[in-house]
Structure 1
Amino acid sequence: MTVKQLRAFLAVARTLSFTQACEYLHLSQPALSLAIKGLEESLGGRLLIRTTRSVRLTPEGETLVPLAKRLLADWDSTEEVLRQRFTLQLGRLSLAAMPSFAGNLLPQALMVFRRRHPRINVTVHDVINEQVIDMVRQRQVEMGIVFEPEATGSLTFTPLFSDRFVAVVPADSPLAQHPALDWDTLMSRDFVALQRPSMVRRLLEQQLGPRHVGLKVAFETHQLASVGRMVASGLGVSAVPSLCIRQMQETGAVCLPLTDPVIERNVGVITWTPHELSVAARALVDVLVEHVSPPGLLADQDEAAR
């Protein structure tokens, strides 16, 4: 039983005329007759009684009419919903992003996406870096925004930009007057760190190597906002990815370029390789690639490094 056969049957059932049904469907009489015959053969009996002077429905044909109407209505509705999704007139999208990105750079990208596709509903899961990767791997979300994983496995990573660590110091500290800081100077002060298993904490310890044993961790917290507030209050200094600069500045802390060494890691979009992204997800990736850029302080850090 095909959609074409059902449409042919309903046209004849409405008009009780093969001639009028042919005009309505823009079909020839042989094509219409063949469609009705194929439908009757697939169902196992006659649906119409046709004579040279009239057409009428059999009891089975009468039974099929409301069922066929419902089937075709569902089919048309399905076609329309999918057409709207493919043309980005309708749909929903779920993504996960690490807090440092979700709270700083993502809102601007979502504004661009919303202007382009106002009828796409977007759900954002603001979770730590490791959870983002797990959610993508378990297909709880279509895409995630993370620091580049050490091993992607079945995942695909699309880089957006290379992010670097910056120093976070109190506004009234003598350190705030420096154009840039090196790690040895920063680590000579009490340090405010994110708690493990934070990716930011792990990156620091991995990149600093033997140096990190000299890290005077005086305070630990799970929240980046708390790091900024503790530093602004004079409890110590810290180091965060540059995409957190605005968040740190809002707490009253000062951010400075960090050198010797420059610690950096790619930030990008991670997706599940075997799973084809929806049209909406691909459109959001395009927006992120086009509009997301590292904070301006990175240019200053480049100059300081030279």
Structure 2
Amino acid sequence: MSVSIAHMENPPPSHFNQADISVINFRRIEVGDMIKLEALRVFVTVAESGNIKDAADAVGRTASAVSMTLKQLEDEIGGPLFQTDRKNSLTALGNLMLDLGREQIRSFDKSVSIMRAFAHSRIGSLSIASVPSVATNVLPPILQRFLETRPQVQVELFDIDSAQVRRMVESGVADIGIAGESRAGGGVEFTPLFSDRFKLLCRDDHELCRLERPVEWSDLSGATLIRNGASDRIEAEEHKRLSAQSLITVYNVTSLVALVKAGLGLTILPSLTMHGAHDGVAVLELADAAASRQVGLVERRDIPPSPVAAAFRAFAVEQIPAMVAEHLGTLNGA
């Protein structure tokens, strides 16, 4: 599933958009390569002020420095820009220069504004690949906070399993991933964010619900286990034997719950996937304290992140662990 989120409200005064990021067009005034932007600024300021003194005050230079700049500019162009030395009346060339100069300055200032905004992660695009439990229960409030100060950042969120998260990040389709820990190797690296205990999901009338203690692996002897990609990470030999005997494998949590409710078997899922009550099913604790998964960030090793991706990474590392702890505490009745 791919969800695209575009936050483009309240554009800044420069009114730039995403197309400006891809192609920044520095249009040149066809008056020679020696004309400097600051000389154009001085000329435009003098033309708009109507005299050198006020213009010099506006640009923070002396009147003699402004006069010298105008003289050099006229020499480079090859003609007078003002009709008199008082600089209060433009020649035809001066009027043309004023129009082109304003256009050039606006274009340059806009381009600089875009580049600064991109460098400070205020604009750009961010592609995130995440396991469903995090995409559903954690990322919505995280993204809401992150985008509060970045309303023009474009976000694309892929809701997929851990193996696909790794592949999307490694191939460059996703800027950053959030997934369960996998074996080391390849072109990605893993940064742990939180640990998530596995729990047993069964019908609420199952005999295991009468236990007044956490469920042992031995309690599942003879039970029908519905496999899913997440529980394959459990290292317990008893669980591996149960999984090997399973005839049903389902990856979607909604479908898993439906099959459990229908009495087709039990399943084992991370706590974070248990958000929201499911009528007709019970969530039971497992006695095996090692039955847990590490969830964290998946990133490319060889390519530095964009400013937006780097900002989101720092935000995620700071915010996600505390948010998950609060969320899991609520689920566990803490």
Report if TM-score (shorter chain) is over 0.5: yes
Name the counterpart of 1:304.
Answer: none
Question: Which of the numbers 104, 128, 143 marks the counterpart of 2:137?
Answer: 104
Give structure 1 stretches of 5+ with no counterpart.
301-306
Match of 1:185 in 2: 219
State the distance in 2 between where 1:212 and 1:288 align: 31
Task: Report what 2:194 is aligned to.
Answer: 161
Match of 2:233 in 1: 203
The number of equivalent residue pairs is: 291
What is the DSSP-based 3-state SS (H/G/I as helix, E as strand, rest coil) of the residue aligned with 2:290?
Answer: coil
Letter in 2 for 1:235: L
More strand, by proportion: 1
- In structure 2, how many angstroms separate the alpha carbons of the residues matched to 1:64 and 1:147? 61
Match of 1:148 in 2: 181
2:163 aligned to 118, 122, 130, which one? Answer: 130
What whole-Å deviation, never above 9, does each CA across 1:148-178 have from its counterpart, x for those lacking one?
Answer: 2322544343322112221111110011222
| Aligned pair partner of 1:275 in 280, 286, 304 | 304
Deviation at 1:267, TM superposition (A): 0.6
Distance 2:221 2:99 in 1: 77
Q: Does 1:72 align with 2:105?
A: yes
State the Cα deviation string for residues 43-69 of structure 1 (Å, max 9, x = none): 664463575455665655443322322
The answer as to 2:52 corresponding to 1:22 is no
TM-score normalised over the length of structure 1: 0.77
Contact 2:215/2:287, CA 8 A, preserved across alignment: yes
SS in 2 for 1:151: coil
2:231 and 2:269 in contact (8 A); partners too: no
Q: How far apart are residue 146 of structure 1 and its match?
A: 0.8
Q: Distance in 2 between matches of 1:258 and 1:180?
A: 5
Measure how far apart 1:101 and its partner are. Answer: 1.6
Question: Which of 281, 292, 296 is equivalent to 2:324?
Answer: 292
Change (3 A) 1:193 1:46: farther
Measured against aligned partners, the alpha-carbon deviations of 1:181-203 in whole angstroms (never above 9, x if no partner) come to 12233353111122xxx3x2542
Matches within 5 A, 1:210-229: 212-215=240-243, 216-229=245-258
Aligned to 2:28: none
Alignment partner of 2:275 out of 229, 246, 249: 246
Quick one: distance in 1 between partners of 2:238 and 2:216?
16
Q: In the alignment, residue 281 of structure 1 is paired with which amino acid?
A: F
* Percent pairwise identity: 27
* 8 A contact 1:164–1:298 mirrored in 2: no
Alignment partner, residue 10 of structure 1: 44
**Please, what TM-score do these two structures have when normalized by structure 2?**
0.71
* Pairwise CA distance, 1:127: 1.8
